[in-house]
Structure 1
Amino acid sequence: MSFYTSLNGLKNAQTDLGVISHNIANVETYGFKSSSTQFSDIVVNSAQSNPKLTQGLGATVTAIEQNFKLGPTEQTGGALEIAIGGDGFFTKVGGASGETMYTRNGKFQMDASGNIHDGSDNRLQVFPTDAAGNVTSTTPVSAQIPLTNGSGSEFVSVTVSENGNINAGYADGTVDVIGKVALASFASPTGLKQTGASNWQSSGLSGAAKMGEPGVGLYGGLMSGSLERSNVDIAEELVGLITAQRNFQANAKAIDTATQISQTVINLRT
């Protein structure tokens, strides 16, 4: 029995080491959120068992919990590099796949057709607005900047306001609002499904996305020219790494001790 109990401990420590290593590897990844391993003990009892003689059977991994605390903000100066100063996720739709995903990484760019995307053709979603920047529909659409305005003047610049308005400037000096950045929130963000590249998708655990405008209600305002860095605390992760290593060594030692005891019993002579 002790072999399997310690073997479970080894597997759990290995999982913990993997999670911590993943955190450390992404300490420089924009919009990354760290995770931690949650454990619980295993106890098996029957109605006839004496509770004073109950022996545990080790531990198991119950969850790898995501931590959505805000990461530090880095000023970059890019017009389409945006950080959220509070709660909320940017919403993107794959240009080819049509899949909806959510992210805290606001590093966007514009392609030759005026589409605002993340570099992988996942397009930023915005609420349609009128010329004054008032939202005209609560159904998000892909952000696209017209390369010429109504008078035929060419596009020259873009800015993003704190309230989420994307402002396109043209050669004749006019500025048009082409949409307002749509932010998403979830009843249980820890239930979001990780898909890589600092992207998440909704799941049954997270609930459906609730859309809103930057700076309104629970949604944070936007900071143009900034990016949210990883929220990994490297000092905390290194301490956790040492602890997980010690746990692994202790369980390995327990297996070694059980092996020696078994060998002693086998070698008994009558």
Structure 2
Amino acid sequence: MSYYTSLTGLKNAQTELNVVAHNIANAETTGFKKSSTAFADIVSSSVITDPALTVGIGSRVSKISQEFSLGAIEQTGSALDLALDGEGFFTTVSPVSGQTEYTRNGSFTVDGNGFIKNASNARLQVFPIVNGAVSTASRQDVQIPTVNASGSPYSSVTISQDGHVTATYDDGSNSDLGVVAVANFIAPDGLKQMGASTWTATGKSGAATYGQPGTGTLGGLMSGSLERSNVDIAEELVELISAQRYFQANAKAIDTATQISQTVINLRN
């Protein structure tokens, strides 16, 4: 029994090492959110078991949770680098699969067709401007026209603190292309990780609710800035040492059980 009990501890220690290693590996990944491991004990008992004689049979991983605390904000000066100073996620849609994804990585660029996209080519979503007012009933790709109605070529793009995407043209005119759509979830730790600092909604996270930056519980938009990873290297190194000791202790318990078994076998011989 002691072999299997300690074996569960070894497996759990390996899982914790994997989680800590993943956190450390992404300490410099923009918009990354660290994870932590929680464990629970396993107890073998039945309705006729004497509570005073109940023996535990090991441990298990009960949850690997994501921590969505705010990372440090780094100024970059690029107009299309965005950060949320608070809760919420940027909404993007893949032009290939049509899948909606959510991210805290606000590093965007303009492609050859005028779409604002991230490194995975997913397009930033905005609320359209209808008759001069923001319509939050729908979302769409934001696309910058290469020329305005007067035929003047595109010059630059800016995004204000309230999320308005404004294109400027050589003749000095401006065009409001929409307002950045920010999503939030009732249980963000239930989001499914997709890699590249992106997530998708699940039944555990609940459906996304959308709003403009800086409204309700949603964070304000910071243009020219990016949110760094929320990984604390010092904290992760402590967790790494703790997981290593945890692994070594369980390995020692198995070694001790082996020595005892060998002693018993020798006595019988």
Smaller-chain TM-score bracket = over 0.9
What amino acid does structure 1 have at the position aligned with 2:29? T
Give the 3-state SS of the residue equivalent to 2:92 in structure 1. Answer: strand
Amino acid at match of 2:28: E
- Percent of counterpart pairs with the same letter? 61
1-structure distance, mates of 2:188, 2:252: 39
SS in 1 for 2:129: coil
Q: Which amino acid aligns with 2:232?
A: D
Give the CA deviation at 1:131. 7.3
Partners in 2 of 1:124 and 1:157 — Cα distance? 17
Deviations 1:47-85 (A, max 9, x none): 111101111011100110000000000000111000001
CA shift for structure 1 position 151: 1.1
* Rounded Cα–Cα distance in structure 2 between residues aligned with 1:44 and 1:257: 22
Residue 135 of structure 2 corresponds to 136
In the alignment, what sits opposite 1:95? 95
Find the counterpart in structure 2 of residue 19 from structure 1. 19
Normalised TM-score (structure 2): 0.98
Shift of 1:45: 1.0
- The runs of 5 or more residues in structure 2 that have no matched partner are none
1:61 maps to what in 2? 61
The ranges of structure 1 where at least 4 consecutive aligned residues each deviate by more than 2 angstroms after the TM superposition are: none
> 2:136, 2:211 within 8 Å by CA — same for their partners in 1?
no
- Cα 1:137–1:240 shift into 2, 3 Å: closer
Q: CA deviation at 1:138?
A: 2.1
Q: Give, in whole Å, the separation in 2 of the partners of 1:51 and 1:201.
A: 44
Is 1:28 aligned with 2:28?
yes
Whether contact under 8 Å (1:74, 1:226) holds in the other structure is yes
**Equivalent residues in 2 for 1:201-240 (5 A)?**
201-240=200-239
Partners of 1:13 and 1:123 lie apart in 2 by: 40
Partner amino acid, structure 2, of 1:251 = N
- Which residue matches 2:246? 247
What number of residue pairs does the alignment pair up?
269
TM-score of the superposed pair, with normalisation by structure 1: 0.98
Shift of 1:137: 4.3
The one-letter code sitting in structure 1 at the alignment partner of 2:15 is T
Name 2:81's counterpart in structure 1.
Answer: 81
Q: Which runs of 5 or more structure 1 residues have no equivalent in the other structure?
A: none
Could you say what secondary structure the match of 1:249 adopts? helix
Residue 106 of structure 2 aligns to a residue in which SS? coil
2:50 paired with 1:50: yes
Tell me the alpha carbon deviations over residues 1-59 of structure 1, each in whole angstroms, 9 at most, x when there is no partner.
00000000000000000000000000000000000001000112111111011110111
